[in-house]
């Protein structure tokens, strides 16, 4: 299994959980409008930090990647697949907040 396939599976699961969480909400439009700004800021911040620190870790030798298991597309020294984890986190964490936070507030 290549790194890209693993990342696509991980992103797919995160997206499915987000769709499920949004489907559970009664007023999705208000939710999306209120969360759009903070999620955008968090996404940009995580992608920038990933670009910086992945390149530092790869340059220092803490991590190595074989070209056969990556797509070959890189941002600096970091394979583009490394950016899927922050994207999945930005989808998954708010979704879990919606799912579990809503249940807790009712009880």
pLDDT tens for residues 11-24? 999 999 999 998 88
Average pLDDT for residues 85-96, to the nearest whole number? 93
Q: Which residue segment(s) compose the domain that 9 sits in?
A: 3-106
3-state helix, strand, coil in the chain (%, to 5): 80, 5, 20
d(CA 107, CA 105): 6
Among the residue ranges 61-70, 80-89, 94-103, the one predicted with the least confidence is: 94-103
Residue 74 tokens read as: 């890189």
- Cβ atoms of 45 and 52 within 8 Å: the answer is no
Structural domains counted in the chain: 1
The DSSP element (H or E) to which 79 belongs, if any, is: strand 78-79
Report whether 26 contacts 100 (CB < 8 A): no
- Angle at CA of residue 38, ends 31 and 20, nearest 5°: 40
């Amino acid at each position: 299994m290549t790194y890209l396939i693993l990342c696509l599976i991980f992103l797919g699961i995160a997206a499915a959980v987000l769709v499920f969480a949004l489907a559970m909400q009664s007023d999705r439009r208000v939710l999306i409008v209120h969360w759009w700004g903070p999620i955008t800021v968090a996404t940009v911040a995580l992608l920038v930090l990933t670009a910086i620190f992945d390149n530092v870790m790869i340059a220092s030798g803490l991590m190595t990647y074989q070209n056969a298991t990556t797509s070959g597309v890189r941002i600096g020294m970091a394979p583009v697949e490394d950016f899927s984890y922050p994207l999945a986190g930005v989808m998954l964490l708010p979704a879990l907040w919606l799912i579990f936070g809503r249940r807790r507030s009712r009880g």
